[in-house]
Chains A and B, each alone.
Chain A
């Protein structure tokens, strides 16, 4: 066999050898994975490690920096606006993810029955998730206007408030306005994700509970929620990461204001790096997210595992 292949014409031999090599799963596997891995190595893995390095330098935009050890990190730890951003990020993440989970599960339970136009309602529910966040953020920005807000007008009309709400001018109002916008965008993800899980729950379980005379509330706590927990864990972890590392909603609606009261990690690092030109410091702020991200995911995972 070998001899025959060797005496064949050269181009045919090469071609045969290539096509034979392509039958080898290892060779073909590496070839197939190569494009994806190359892109991810150059534009994801490399910047990831470069970011760790930049945090240790005094790099400015367009100028190479020098190694300065942990100076960026130490100066941030003495920076009150950094600590405010840490506080804001935690409030934003914890409150928003909690509300998204509660409202998302609620809507999933409401939708988990047969009714007319189910497909249409489900499609409508997912809209806030589909529409580009930057564009809906512009809409919220306008909705939170201090003089022309439709929310304020309606509330005043029904006599709930006397004055128009200063949504974005007061620190806590601004924080909760951002959380509301984030919840609005994130509820559909929870709902549609969990709806698929609800549909796999065996209806016999509910029938058996009905025979035992269980209330709807009890059925929810004893059957629905426990069986939904694995999927809820996954959805919550994703949402936690996205909320924690959010940028565009906050950047468009408040730009971190009023007076830095709504800066989160992403917006503060963008401001310092892209607007202030301090790449090193900005990278250090971003890198502060890393351990917390890992811990967040870990805690969420452990906590929900225990509940199971």
Chain B
């Protein structure tokens, strides 16, 4: 009986889990594997390509020496953090107003913000490019700082509304009886209580901004102003020449900030994702 149960566990749990992990992790393994190989080894199919024979840092050195990788990282950081701050501030106020102030049009406003989350960037990038051109923001990082909040705010507002809902109304009512103003209540009671929510929303905004591709590709053309993913592909693929080693090194290094943020706040991230879905 015990053996049978152990056998069932292997079939129903360990084997599928291992297959899934192989599928989900293999691309990452391949990325690591490529980064630390020399070109000789990389393009020699007579030796097993699945592991590294003579590890080398040459690809990473090439990446930092021959491209302005750090500049692209800086650009991405600047855009991601500024857009996140703008989106967080706007969403906090909006979510609180919609969820708690219950003013006349709070219902429709909430619905409108939710619907705006469903409009994909692929529909918006052409007219936005037109607007960015008119605003003379073409080829400027500010075009990204201003447009990223459009997909961050709907998501954040939605997520934060869930957090505001979970704070008991009585706390606000008590403070009001004590004569605290609404602004004071918002600052002193609500904000500290939904700090975990703000953190989740902030992490989401940061990763979503870091991930953004189509706007950055459409609005930025100068090499020095590109964000990481755009810079890597356009500068390391020249015509038919693919510099796979440095490309993979770039992909790996550019993933590090997101992976770090994620590793530290994984619980907040999961809570945010599942919380947003349940709303």
Which A residues lie at the B interface, using CB under 8 A?
19, 22-23, 25-26, 28-33, 35-37, 39-40, 43-48, 50-51, 54, 59, 61-62, 103, 106-107, 110-111, 113, 115, 119, 121-128, 130-136, 138-140, 142-143, 145, 147-148, 150, 153-154, 184, 187-189, 192-193, 195-196, 216, 231, 234-235, 241-242, 244-248, 251-252, 265-266, 269-270, 273-274, 279, 282-283, 286-287, 289-290, 293, 297
Q: Report whether A231 and B277 are in contact in the complex, using a CB–CB cutoff of 8 Å.
A: yes
Q: Does B248 contact A (CB under 8 A)?
A: yes
Closest 9 CB pairs of A and B: A29-B103, A134-B229, A245-B120, A32-B97, A196-B274, A36-B94, A266-B122, A47-B127, A50-B127
Residues B24 and A48 in contact, CB atoms below 8 Å apart: no
Which of B120, B129, B247 has most chain A Cβ within 10 Å? Answer: B120
How far in angstroms is the closest Cβ of chain B from A205?
19
Chain A contact residues: helix, strand, loop or mixed: helix
| Chain B residue nearest in CB terms to A51 | B127
Can you name 8 A-B residue pairings with CB atoms under 8 Å?
A30-B97, A110-B17, A126-B269, A136-B27, A145-B244, A184-B24, A193-B273, A245-B120
Q: Taking the complex as formed, is B101 at the interface, i.e. its CB lies under 8 A from any CB of chain A?
A: yes
Q: Are A138 and B232 in contact, with the CB atoms below 8 A?
A: yes
Chain B residues lying within 8 Å of A274, measured Cβ to Cβ, are 126, 129, 217-218
Q: Do residues A139 and B248 form an inter-chain contact, with CB atoms below 8 A?
A: yes
A-side contacts of B106, CB under 8 Å: 29, 33
**CB atoms of A247 and B214 under 8 A apart:** yes
- Whether a CB of chain A sits under 8 angstroms from the CB of B31 is yes
A286–B126 Cα gap in the complex (Å)? 9
With A26-B103, A35-B94 in contact, is A132–B255 under 8 Å at CB?
yes
Q: Which residues of chain B in 221-278 are interfacial with respect to chain A, using CB atoms and an 8 Å cutoff?
A: 228-230, 232-233, 242, 244, 247-248, 250-251, 254-255, 258-259, 262-263, 266, 269-270, 273-274, 277-278
Whether A48 and B94, one on each chain, are in contact in the complex, defined by CB atoms closer than 8 angstroms, is: no
CA distance A44 to B49 in the complex (A): 47
Assess whether A148 is in contact with B211, with CB atoms less than 8 Å apart.
no
Smallest CB gap from B262: residue in A: A130
Contact of B248 among A47, A142, A187 (CB under 8 A): A142
CA distance A136 to B70 in the complex (A): 19
- Residues of A contacting B49 in the complex (Cβ-Cβ under 8 angstroms): 148, 150, 153
Q: Is the CB of B277 within 8 A of A138?
A: no
Asked if residues A147 and B45 are in contact (CB atoms below 8 Å), the reply is: yes
A297 vs B118: C-alpha distance in the bound complex, in angstroms?
A: 10
Chain A minimum-CB-distance residue to B230: A134
B 111-129 contacts with A by CB, 8 A: 113, 116, 118-129
Assess the B90–A196 pair: CB atoms within 8 A: no
Question: Distance (Å) between the CB of B38 and the closest chain A CB?
Answer: 14
Assuming the contacts A50-B131, A132-B258, asked whether A125 and B104 have C-beta atoms less than 8 A apart, the reply is no
Residues in chain B near residue A231, CB distance under 8 A = 277-278
Q: Which of B's residues lie within 8 Å of A, judged by CB?
A: 12-13, 16-17, 20-21, 23-28, 30-31, 33-34, 42-43, 45, 48-50, 86, 89-91, 93-94, 96-98, 101-104, 106, 109, 113, 116, 118-131, 133, 146-147, 149-150, 153-154, 157, 181-183, 207, 210-211, 213-214, 217-218, 228-230, 232-233, 242, 244, 247-248, 250-251, 254-255, 258-259, 262-263, 266, 269-270, 273-274, 277-278
The answer on a CB contact under 8 Å between B233 and A138 is yes
Give Cα A50–Cα B119 distance, bound, in whole angstroms.
14
User: Which chain A residues lie closer than 8 Å to B126 at the CB level?
Assistant: 51, 54, 269, 273-274, 279, 282-283, 286
When distances are taken between beta carbons in the complex, the residues of chain A under 8 Å from B45 are: 147-148, 153
Q: Contact partner of A131 among B147, B182, B259, CB < 8 A?
A: B259
Instruction: Give Cα A261 to B227, complex, Å.
Output: 29
* Besides A28-B182, A43-B149, A142-B34, 16 other A-B contacts (C-beta < 8 A): A39-B150, A43-B146, A48-B119, A51-B126, A110-B12, A126-B269, A134-B233, A138-B247, A139-B27, A139-B30, A153-B49, A184-B23, A196-B274, A245-B121, A245-B122, A248-B213
Whether A150 contacts B30 by the Cβ 8 Å rule is yes
* CB atoms of B27 and A106 under 8 A apart: no
Query: With A and B bound together, what is the CA distance between A125 and B118 in angstroms?
Result: 25
The reply to whether A32 and B93 contact each other, CB–CB distance below 8 Å, is yes
A132 vs chain B, min Cβ distance (A): 4
Is the pair A54, B17 in contact by a Cβ cutoff of 8 Å?
no
Known: A26-B103, A133-B213, A138-B251. A50 touches B130 (CB 8 A): yes
Task: Decide if B248 touches A192 in the complex (CB within 8 Å).
Answer: no
Asked if A235 contacts B277 (CB within 8 A), the reply is yes
What A residues does B96 contact at CB under 8 A?
A: 32
Q: How many Å lie between the Cα of A242 and that of B113 in the bound state?
A: 18
List residues of chain A with CB within 8 A of the CB of B266: 119, 123, 126
Q: What separation, in Å, do the CA atoms of A263 and B74 have in the docked complex?
A: 32
- The smallest beta-carbon distance between A209 and chain B, in angstroms, is 16
Contacting pair B91 A36 (CB below 8 A): yes
Name the A residues within 8 Å of B247 (CB-CB).
138, 142
